[in-house]
Structure 1
């Protein structure tokens, strides 16, 4: 069965009837976390909302005023997941999220064109593709592509766009001998009924269930961003089509203007300016580390020389690292002195080091971890690790000081 969205990819509203509605659950991605959402699976007499398939994500839209959260294909039927129940037999008006749909049409038809031209020009076969949220990629059966090949391919596909090449749809039966001449990576196991063929006149004929433009001119433009190393000695070709190219150009220009203001140089000098800044930062970091080491030594020596130094030393410093703390602990190095050091934000995460008498450190280390919500370990008179919050640091310090004062 073909759906109305496949018969007329440009239709944005459509009247149909609810055939069934049953309770269901959907695993939704919320800020990177999978959560189960309760709702209803709705089947309609026909639909303009494309169910995910062929590498193309599903459509978003409305059934009446009820948002459609997911559309999937089950054999010959499309299943719409919604949050509210709909009455069986009810006449409803469908509306498709046209911006999302047209974007998918551009990317999908663009993929067909790039795939066909990469094959005809270089013999590179497409083994898979991904329609991403911001950019898309085609996996080509080649270990690499030369810059000159990418430039030639980009020029060729955009020439086809300028030529206003028609894109048509054929529907053939499974036993039609014409299917043998059609490019395909195979049909789904549950494929039934007639087979849909997307034909780019004089360029490509390919089995596909997705939504497509009716003319290559509707793609506007294709930009090949470059390649990335793929799996199993293959290459991923990254691309943008149509409105995504315009959005990319707009975003790139905005970033460029921001960099001009920050770096006080023109766009052509940005790389050199950033390189100079990075070298200066490395030099400053090296100098800062040297100063921190010197400060650590002086801090420890000042404690050792103090006539009333006692048997407990504590210090918190916002700037520092494990080496800074280790130098202080090594310099003090007194079997009778308990050393508690922390670095990081006063109320935020950071590092800690507890050093001194082996028995005291072994006993108090886990308690310090618990109070500072940290992770760490220790041995031989040293206990150190990372902490999630310094909020209770003062309490830890009082605990350690009290413990030192209570023992002879």
Structure 2
């Protein structure tokens, strides 16, 4: 296999499983931080003595931080390679939840939220760029399983967080999260794939690309992630308020969506290696479309939950395929293509749900879940660009 790839030290030593494990651990850690933040929100609100509107602005600051630092991270990846950038961003991210727990007032909280969002996003771009390099080195798809580890990290972080805070308190939880992050990073550190930047073209690559292709792939990421954000933020409310689900049952919408998404992400790489990026993306998009329309038209909660589960199966591999394609575009550094796709994708996930909430006040959520799948038609029209996801040699 060595003769087909760049003879990096990792490959020469036969460390294929190690570079894959390292990048998987980075995704797990990033997801764990994000998941650990969710159960802290009520305590965070009480400690600072703020209302919903101020909390909404703080969460918006998290999103702004992500969107500001993501393109900057992409530029540094083109200049320095993903290994250096992912190490630095992961070190800075690890204690940020602890910093957020210790903020004395709203003004400091704004800065801390900006940093947390910024470094979650910057590390996200870097670890996706590293995953693209690992795909090229291994000559097979791994992006979907990397995103499955992110989902798993999020699930672990949110599941443990509430219980931990209830038993031990907010500060011990933040210290625990910091220790876990540094421990995971210590294991991954020596195994992270060292990729070579191209110093001769790094300067020009620091500019945002003027060719339409990365923006079209970004549009695929955006229209794949808006529905994901909609289910995450509004699924439970829809089940409870419009379909009469109990509090316990309404939680199952997101649980079903998350579970099918995580499971399918672990299977996604094998499917993509077998059928190619374009065909996989089209089947996933159609499945997600059917699932969300079913959820929107459902006469009762169980049927809507089934719709969300189907949507999770579909959406699961749409984003990883878009990210693989973005990182493998001809004539473009992986960090730059990825920063465009992640920037557009995450902006959809961060900002669209608030807009959707505003519209839903006037229309109800059933209409929203029935109409949001219109975005998938655009994804289908652009799906031929997913051919770039196969450039890693999976065929």
**TM-score, normalised relative to structure 1:** 0.20
Choose between structure 1 and 2: higher helix proportion.
2
Choose between structure 1 and 2: higher strand proportion.
1
For the pair shown, which has the larger CA radius of gyration, 1 or 2? 1
**TM-score, normalised relative to structure 2:** 0.20
